[in-house]
Amino acid sequence: MQLGSLTEFLVKSLVKNPDMVSVKAFDDEDKITIEVLVSVDDIGKVIGKKGIIASSIRTIVQASSYLNHEKRVFINIDSF
């Protein structure tokens, strides 16, 4: 499974409006950056208290990247 698809699956499983989720992956020379955009109403569900849920999403995606011998992953979460 690609890292962008995995991130999209995880985020869409959490939010109230899965149609409002946008995930884009950018591949650089030494890292992969994944941009996640959710609606303002769902940003709290994706980040969680003290960032626990966002941290868990990052951990899962980075573990998948490591197991597949891919580059380091950075995930940015924002709302629109």
Residues with pLDDT less than 70, the chain: 1
Full residue range of the structural domain in which residue 44 is found: 3-79
CATH number of the domain that residue 63 is part of: 3.30.300.20
Count: domains in the chain: 1
| pLDDT single digits (tens) 21-31 | 999 999 999 99
Torsion of CA 11, 24, 71, 6, to 10 degrees: 30
- Residues 73, 31: contact at Cβ < 8 Å? yes
Beta bridge partners of 38: 79
**pLDDT confidence of residue 1:** 56
